[in-house]
Structure 1
């Protein structure tokens, strides 16, 4: 496996704790108030919120992953060889430019980085930390050129 020059996971596992924690707080509030606690309801709530959050974390980890290695650029579900990238573009991309990763647009809260490919087309890459991403991609492109 190649060394990673840049990596974003899309999500960490911390949100998985929120649902069960909220359910525990709800259960404890019923106990502290003096009402008989609805134990099964709070267990079901914690499990349900955990399940929904697990789906959210899984989707973010699968579709919002960004990785630059010396030979590959990974954006969501799509991989692109570094050798296929001709240049990092500083100009704005035209509307309708294809977005790497299979999405219709660049994900929210991510910077869009236009790339000119060796076949002359322009595509949009994206990253959370634009400067670090550009640096890693530029380094990989320099190392890849003969």
Structure 2
């Protein structure tokens, strides 16, 4: 048994088990939380779709599920997309702004990062260092 666990290949697989197991558990927990947030009729529709029982799905529930999925996707895209608001109150992407404005925005962002104070974590880590 000792020679089995001293093998480099076996120890590599054991380390991957912890990595992949944690990632799998995180994804599974997230999906179950998302499933729990769905209304009951959408949960039934999702289970019917995943189990291949297409005959049980009504057109109204399929349409509702599709609209729900599209709005969730659009919400995600809107959240992660970098946005800039102009003086006129209009949203603009960085590539839409004139060249000098793009450089000014990048310079402002870099200056803000450089001049920021310590974060809470940095302050806590520096407590022991005098």
Looking at both structures, which has the greater relative contact order when contacts are Cα pairs under 8 Å and sequence separation is at least 6? Answer: 1
Q: Over alpha carbons, which structure has the higher Rg?
A: 2
Q: TM-score, normalised by structure 2?
A: 0.28
Structure in which a larger fraction of residues adopt helix: 2
Q: TM-score, normalised by structure 1?
A: 0.26
